[in-house]
Amino acid sequence: MTMTRQGADATRALQALEDSDPTVRLRAALAVGTTPDPCFVDKLVERCAIEPEFFVRDMLTWALVRHPVDLALPVLLKEVRSERAQARSQALHTLSKIGDRQAWPTITPALLSDADDEVAKSAWRAAVLLVPEGEEPALAAVLAGQLGRGGPTTWLSLSQALVALGDVIVPALRAAAAADPRVRAHALATEQLLRDPDTGFESAIEEAKRVVALSGAPGTDDENRADR
């Protein structure tokens, strides 16, 4: 009878994850994470791919993290290859929360440069958490190739990921600073954030744009190169 009751509870929880009311889905995800069971893993990952509410997706991720790594990891590693952008993004986000470096080979250059900004941002965050010791400079070079991409929130996400790698990013930033003005401004702002983490990112961007603009004015190139 106990097993039957547990099975019925699991069935109700799985059904509730698809309820039209996001509050019901949230409570269901909380219940699933509170009492982990192998039967929940596939459904949690599946729901992450289509759940429209951020706060519910966050609870789904928490519920997945509560399950044994050896159960969740294979399903998530498969999901990062999904054709659905949200599926890739949420799988990467969950992998970053699990923090198991077995997932590192899955963080490919293709994911780090994914055409979908949310996927790319999730990949950047996961990469800096999972990168093996000694591979930080190579990762910094790949991330620096994304400088100048997207809008302000994407710039901030990339800069934060780069700064998390530490001083090893400086050569990659200096190399990127020789590129077009937009990339150069982003590189300079990121280096400023590395030097002074308390600097407001918007202020760092504005200062970097000013420096880039001045470097294009007559008689200022040598001075700006000296400053670098």
Counting Cα atoms < 13 Å in the Cβ hemisphere of 34 gives 9
pLDDT tens digits for range 89-118? 999 999 999 999 999 999 999 999 999 999
Q: Where are the domains of the chain?
A: 1-130, 134-221
CA distances from 163 to 78, 85, 155, 178, 192 (A): 29, 26, 12, 19, 10
Residue 200 has pLDDT above 90, yes or no: no
Nearest to 212 by CA among 225, 201, 203: 225
Q: What is the pLDDT of residue 7?
A: 66
pLDDT tens digits for range 117-158? 999 999 999 999 999 999 999 999 999 999 999 999 999 999
Confidence of residue 19 (pLDDT cuts 50, 70, 90): very high
Average pLDDT over residues 4-31: 87
Residue 37's Cβ-count burial label (10 Å; 0-12, 13-18, 19+) is middle
- Do residues 49 and 64 make contact, with C-beta atoms less than 8 angstroms apart? no
- Class level of CATH domain 1-130: mainly alpha
